[in-house]
A = this chain, B = another copy of it.
Amino acid sequence: MEPIHQNEMLKQNRNLLNLFVESLLISDNSSTPQPSAGKFNPFNLSNMNTRRNFLQKASFGFAAAAALPSLGNALTQQADRNAVEDEASFTLGFAGYSFLKFDLDKSIAMMKRLAVDHLSIKEFHLPLNSSQETIDAVKKKLSDAGIKPYTVGVIYMRSKEAVDQAFAYAQKVGVNMIVGVPNADLLGYTEEKVKATNIRMAIHNHGPEDKLYPSPKDIYDRIKDMDPRMGLCIDIGHTFRAGVLPEKAVKEYKSRLFDLHIKDVTAMAKDAKVIEVGRGAINFPAFVEALEKINYSGVCSIEYEKDMSDPLVGMAESIGFFKGVQMG
């Protein structure tokens, strides 16, 4: 069930595509191969597109359509849309906190409807002291739904015992990263655990109210000389409320950027409100551009905190917008 490594997939896709484009140019309508529904289907990798290569591909599309007027089906267009050049777009996920008011089954159903398949597991869906048996049952449920739990958190760690518990939990869940908030005086101990377990720690910033880590810099400055597996989960909403542009932060701390919590807020102000992605004040085109520039290879997890009792509509708009910006 492990997904193939993205670069491997890109390579495969590029090779398949080249073959396919060649076949298009020599075949007529009747002999054109039809896309199949297989796992490595080069026709079904729409999340591999980015806005820049998409526009390049558009020109190719015109040329191909002109050259093959009789083709009359989706193949040219599809090949066109799925051409992968030098860059890939970003894996979408959800920060589990988005589903605060929903049990795991409902959360899974929502994720499936939204076609998002990466989840940061939050402890209200799987308590930190769960037995391996309970954990395995939850993992099976996720796996059956095609959802990959790629990390756990946000986990607060205010004691050594809490750090121990978090790492033991991550090991049992089988993830290689924790999104966490260890107390500042526990960072040394956390680093030891990172070294002992090879599980990365992505420390999460919480905005102006957060005495410990209001903005990414407050994390970075404390960990920059530590083990390189000590890093950041940048919450772009809290970052923006703390007066920092997310597009600047991801560039500045790229060497330690492990995860992202993506949301929009109404203003660059402490008391700004969360809002559907695209309706707020964050400059998403600049943010996506920055992620492309640093070749961000982690997950883009939406953390949706508006209308938490009825979030599906706003989540859908947010995901649509974030995808659209990448494509546009």
Contacts of A77 in B (CB 8 A): 245, 267-268, 281-283
A269 with B62: in contact, given A78-B281, A320-B276 (CB under 8 Å)?
no
A319 to B318 CA separation, bound complex (whole angstroms): 10
Closest to A288 in B: B328
A318 to B61 CA separation, bound complex (whole angstroms): 23
A278 to B112 CA separation, bound complex (whole angstroms): 16
Closest to A65 in B: B245
Contacts of A316 in B (CB 8 A): 313-314, 316-317, 320
**Does A283 contact B80, Cβ atoms closer than 8 Å?**
yes
**Does A58 contact B285, Cβ atoms closer than 8 Å?**
yes
Residue A141, interface by CB 8 Å: no
Binding site for B on A (CB under 8 A): 46, 51, 54-55, 57-58, 61-62, 65, 72-74, 76-78, 80-81, 113-115, 243, 245, 247-248, 266-269, 272, 276-279, 281-286, 288-289, 312-314, 316-328
Minimum CB–CB distance from A5 to chain B (whole Å) comes to: 25
Known: A61-B283, A80-B283. 10 other contacts (CB 8 A): A54-B283, A57-B283, A61-B286, A73-B269, A77-B267, A115-B279, A278-B323, A278-B324, A317-B319, A328-B328
Contacts of A325 in B (CB 8 A): 51, 324-325, 327-328
Closest to A70 in B: B243
A78 to B280 CA separation, bound complex (whole angstroms): 9
One complex includes copies of this chain to the number of 2
How would you classify the secondary structure of chain A's contact residues: helix, strand, loop or mixed?
A: helix
Contacts of A268 in B (CB 8 A): 72-74, 76-77
**Does A327 contact B285, Cβ atoms closer than 8 Å?**
yes
**Does A283 contact B81, Cβ atoms closer than 8 Å?**
yes
**Does B328 contact A286, Cβ atoms closer than 8 Å?**
no
Closest to A282 in B: B77
A322 to B323 CA separation, bound complex (whole angstroms): 9
**Does B114 contact A317, Cβ atoms closer than 8 Å?**
yes
List 21 A-B pairs, Cβ < 8 Å.
Answer: A46-B279, A51-B51, A51-B328, A54-B283, A58-B285, A61-B283, A62-B248, A72-B268, A73-B268, A73-B269, A74-B266, A74-B272, A77-B281, A80-B283, A277-B320, A320-B322, A321-B323, A322-B324, A324-B324, A324-B327, A327-B328
